[in-house]
Structure 1
Amino acid sequence: MIFASNSNKFKYKPNPPQVLALGFVAMILIGSVLLSLSAAFTGGESLRYLDALFMAASAVCVTGLSVINPGTHLSTFGQIVLIVLVQIGGLGFMSMTTFAALVLRKRISFSERLILQEAINYSSNDGLIRLIRKVILYALAIEAAGAFMLALYLMNEMPLGQAVYFGVFHSISIFNNAGFDLFGVFPGRASSLIPYVDDPFVNIVSILLIFFGGIGFTVISELLTYPQTKKLSLNSKVVLYVSGLLIVVGTVVIFIMEFTNPLTLQPLSPTGKIFGALFQSVSSRSAGVNTLDPSTLRQSTQFFIILLMFIGAAPGSTGGGIKVTTFAVLVGAMVAMLRGRQDIVMFRSRIPEKTVYHAVTFTIIAFVVVVGAAMALSITERAPFLTILFEATSAFGTTGMSLGITPNLTPVGKILLIFLMFLGRLGPVTFAFALNGRKDKQPYRYPEGKITLG
């Protein structure tokens, strides 16, 4: 690591995926120990270790699934531990460590640059440290702006100190797409942002925080420098276009399916209906906060949200899922095939075959993992299969939405969701490379064969 000595005492040198995996595991274990302390829990008791491990994993993996109510069950110390884990998990422990090294004027080695490159899904080493510096500063600036606006608004409902505390906590949680909230501290009040379903200010501030947290740090950097450069990379164009398209399509679909639902959109004003559908569409792909209770949605809407959670956010962001770029490549491959074209073209650029293979591989692995976990959970848990599939997809997509079964999971169910959250945050391919330890290059190729499809 960055602060380690250059001693070659140990021959084993983990590769970048292994360092990332071990780093996340270390942060989860440290967080679980802190959350299991009696000082982290209210009422003078302590949290069971498995529950503390679950909450730590959910925070570091910026998921937001909870087996307890953070607003009532965690003390101020426990809440601070939780949100610090969210911040480290969202920005990446390597990014945070690198920023600390830069502040202390420490040298960043080439191997550490490779780990950083893997951590933020950056395609090159050029300008990597400069980008990390920008990433941290941009993230802190966005969180500070969100905290200020939320605190200013919440001052109308609570004392100044509590409003500032709530503003900071929820800004960090929402920007990092974690979805934890403290509003459960108020008796009889609905959780998350449900009381603000038709409030334009809270909706707009939260949607912007979710959007910037979910498009990826390299995209944010390019957007901020666009007035000078007038250029966006292909990756940024695809992320912005597909993210915008998914938001619009999701809003329209949810609006139509929930328009007559007396438990969600029907009682709301026209403005409330639009904001309710829009917020749910934006939040479903990774954020986890919600202004509509997911358990009251129609089953068709819940299944549609499962699809959005599976797609997830952008590469190098605080979100999970298969990523919007993977989804874009798959759709591009389908369109090219239906049109009889050999190449996948996006924004006048040809997508390499290697990228297509990666997209297909990543999607198949993710599908197998989610379906396999859902099948296992259907054995250990007593709940309808759609509810179980929703929970499993939410964990893998690091979304954090729940239909209410998380607090009642069996120990085996909690362990399964912990694994899903970890895998979703790290990425199945990165996890596979961490286990394998090396990427083999095939020294020869077999003769081409033909197989019938369709």
Structure 2
Amino acid sequence: MNSKIENLTKRLSAAQIIVFYYLVAVVVSTILLLLPITQKQNAELSFIDGVFISISAVTVTGLSTADVSQLLSVPGTFIFTIILQFGGIGIVAFGTILWLSGKKIGLKARILMTTEQNSPTYSGIVRFIRMIFFFFVMIELLGAVVFGTYFLKYFPTWQEAYLQGFFASVSATTNAGFDITGKSLIPFADDYFVLTLNIVLFIIGALGFPVLMEVSQWLRHKGKTPFRFSLFTKITTATFFILIVIGAILVYLFEYSHFYSDKTWHQSFVHSLFYSTSSRTGGMAISDVNQFSVPTLLLLSIFMFIGASPSSAGGGIRTTTFAVMLLAIYNYAKGNRTIKIFKREIDDEDIIKSFIVFTTGMILCSVAVVILACIESSFSLMEILFEVSSAFGTVGLSLGITPELSTAGKVVIMTLMFIGKIGIFTFLFSMGGKPVKHAYHYPKERIIIG
């Protein structure tokens, strides 16, 4: 069996192998979810719903066709968190670290981890993944203790409080969007401590592993030797937090005289900040999202489409794609043919990549909206657009249509969640096979554009 898998992987490109591993993870997760030990007594889960929830867990999205709180037993809850952990860090990276722990990791595994994490170099990739693994585990354990201790005031027994705290910590850090309360974070809508802790964990999971590692290095070197952040970290961090601030302001303004009309200014502010962060990939809700106005729903859909940062637990087109694309448009309008920022110049290939990712993402989401509009006639266009954006961005927010989708509709959403997680380039390269070097080139000729 192992020899067959090795022969198969030799014929596949790195992107195709990653897709293969994620598919295997979905199959294994589906089998685990359908086991009697995973489910509560008298719980019913169809095969298609099992596949849907498995893909949502592996891609750490949070969309679900069944109430997970009514589905999972206590052992099932722990099994589910392990699936979320694999999905949050990355199937290939997490699996390789666990499987080859203490062994020498070969070039093939390094190539796969580099491709999955979208890293530009193989150098230090194993050390990087190990650091991420231990960092995430420590953050989740700390979050579980803090959540669990605090939840003692909400739940009748300490066992339930710490179980809820453990799951909440893993779900928030991996940006999974799942909950076992059955009501997302709505019961804690006015508890600013719970909301703030979730926001912090959302940011840790969505900011990007390379950024977190550079910040860690900066803290260790602070006051000792000069430290320079990479251009990637500067652009990622700036874009990430600018979007959070802009999102919070716009949600507040859109809902000031609507949903927030009966709320205090600090409630409105905290709720706006929460949704601005959660819509990027966290996927948790503190109110009925259906009560928001259309401008707010459109804004949240845009934010879900943009998603999190590269090499993070989130999906979407990613923040750097959005930033580079806007910078390219701005500079081109000014007559510049290069992008200079933070005393550095962005490579032309990265500019082209940003437009490829954005365009491909738009095409995929547009096609999905059209297909769902044809087969799911009972839903409004806003509901469909919101669901599609949430699936592609692996966010998990929904206007409540997920359980009512037809089998064909579920397949469309599952496909978007899968592509949103593995990334546009992995998706494109998986269809093209291994790259081929051409021995010759044709003469170049200009064409009219625009």
Q: TM tier, shorter chain?
A: over 0.9
Q: Which runs of 5+ in 2 are unaligned?
A: none
Q: How does 1:299-338 map to 2 (within 5 A)?
A: 299-338=294-333
Shift of 1:46: 3.9
Range 57-66 or range 92-101, more displaced: 92-101
Shift of 1:452: 4.7
Amino acid at match of 2:176: A
8 A contact 2:9–2:17 mirrored in 1: no
Q: Check 1:11–1:46 CA distance in 2 against 1; reply closer, same or farther (3 A cut).
A: closer
Tell me which residue corresponds to 1:365. Answer: 360
Partner Cα separation in structure 2 for residue 136 and residue 154 of structure 1: 26
8 A contact 1:198–1:275 mirrored in 2: no
Tell me which residue corresponds to 1:80. Answer: 78
3-state SS of the aligned residue for 1:107?
coil
Q: Check 1:345–1:68 CA distance in 2 against 1; reply closer, same or farther (3 A cut).
A: same
Shift of 1:269: 2.2
Q: How does 1:179-328 map to 2 (within 5 A)?
A: 179-184=177-182, 191-227=183-219, 228=221, 230-261=227-258, 264-328=259-323
Residue 438, structure 1, aligned to residue 434, structure 2: yes
Partner Cα separation in structure 1 for residue 8 and residue 53 of structure 2: 34
3-state SS of the aligned residue for 1:429?
helix
3-state SS of the aligned residue for 2:153?
coil
Q: Check 1:81–1:343 CA distance in 2 against 1; reply closer, same or farther (3 A cut).
A: same
3-state SS of the aligned residue for 1:155?
helix
Q: How does 1:126-141 map to 2 (within 5 A)?
A: 126-141=123-138
Amino acid at match of 2:164: F
Compute the RMSD of aligned alpha carbons. Answer: 1.9
8 A contact 2:207–2:308 mirrored in 1: yes
Shift of 1:117: 0.5
Residue 395, structure 1, aligned to residue 380, structure 2: no
Normalised by the length of structure 2, the TM-score is: 0.94
8 A contact 1:285–1:399 mirrored in 2: yes
Partner Cα separation in structure 2 for residue 8 and residue 394 of structure 1: 36
Tell me which residue corresponds to 2:108. Answer: 111
8 A contact 2:18–2:116 mirrored in 1: yes
Amino acid at match of 2:380: P
3-state SS of the aligned residue for 1:192?
coil
Q: Check 1:404–1:10 CA distance in 2 against 1; reply closer, same or farther (3 A cut).
A: closer
Between Structure 1 and Structure 2, how many residues are aligned? 442
8 A contact 1:17–1:434 mirrored in 2: yes
Q: Which runs of 5+ in 1 are unaligned?
A: 185-190
The alignment-based identity, stated in percent, is 31
3-state SS of the aligned residue for 1:30?
helix
Residue 425, structure 1, aligned to residue 424, structure 2: no
Range 9-18 or range 148-157, more displaced: 9-18
3-state SS of the aligned residue for 2:345?
strand
8 A contact 1:70–1:79 mirrored in 2: no
Amino acid at match of 2:305: F
Range 241-250 or range 440-449, more displaced: 440-449
Partner Cα separation in structure 2 for residue 39 and residue 11 of structure 1: 33
Partner Cα separation in structure 1 for residue 21 and residue 8 of structure 2: 18
Partner Cα separation in structure 2 for residue 14 and residue 7 of structure 1: 11
